[in-house]
Amino acid sequence: METSDPIVSTILTMTAAFQVGDIPAILRAYEPGAVVIGEPGKPLTGEAALRAMFAAFIAVKPKFTYAGHDVVIADDLALHLAPWQMDGVAPDGTKVKQKGLSVAVLRRQPDGRWLMVIDQPYGDALLNQDARDAPMR
């Protein structure tokens, strides 16, 4: 899928890299020091941690689809929202299916590229918590 929107293009380029298992290309979509949520409540940062997390995702041969993209830009920052679904196969042959709401913050670089600073693919996790597990506040 091609797009003229540079923010959506960053997301789709990273997604395409995931689907072919290209970790260096995935990492190029992020600023150094970016924070990525590999699973709800567990932020990761640093190249070694991100490489390990991305390798684990690639092991399930993910195929991602998006239900749409919403982008809000304020100067050199952008907020990208996208409902996603992932279908894959675990190394033991078990089918894997996940879905969520991707919430990503991107920053325009001096060369004009947009790179992710925060990547939270489980942006709807709080909404989807089981009511008995949610603390009353």
Q: What is the pLDDT of residues 35-93, one digit of tens each?
A: 999 988 899 999 999 999 999 999 999 999 999 999 999 999 999 999 999 999 988 99
The encoded tokens of residue 23 equal 């970790």
Q: What's the rounded mean pLDDT across residues 2-25?
A: 90
Q: What is the pLDDT of residues 83-124, one digit of tens each?
A: 999 999 988 999 999 999 999 999 999 999 999 999 999 999
Query: Has residue 10 been placed in a domain?
Result: yes
Query: Has residue 127 been placed in a domain?
Result: no
**DSSP-assigned letters across all residues of 41-86:** TEEEESHHHHHHHHHHHHTT--EEEES--EEEEETTEEEEEEEEEE
For 40, the domain range is 6-122
Q: Distance between CA atoms of 68 and 134, rounded to whole angstroms?
A: 29
Residue 48: CB atoms within 10 Å: 8
- Domains contained in the chain, number: 1
For the chain, the average pLDDT equals 91
Query: Has residue 89 been placed in a domain?
Result: yes
Query: Has residue 136 been placed in a domain?
Result: no
Query: Has residue 32 been placed in a domain?
Result: yes
What is the identity of the amino acid at 79? L
Write 91-94 long-range contacts (CB < 8 A, 24+). 91/59, 91/60
Query: Has residue 129 been placed in a domain?
Result: no
Query: Has residue 85 been placed in a domain?
Result: yes
Query: Has residue 63 been placed in a domain?
Result: yes
Instruction: Provide the CATH number for the domain around residue 72.
Output: 3.10.450.50
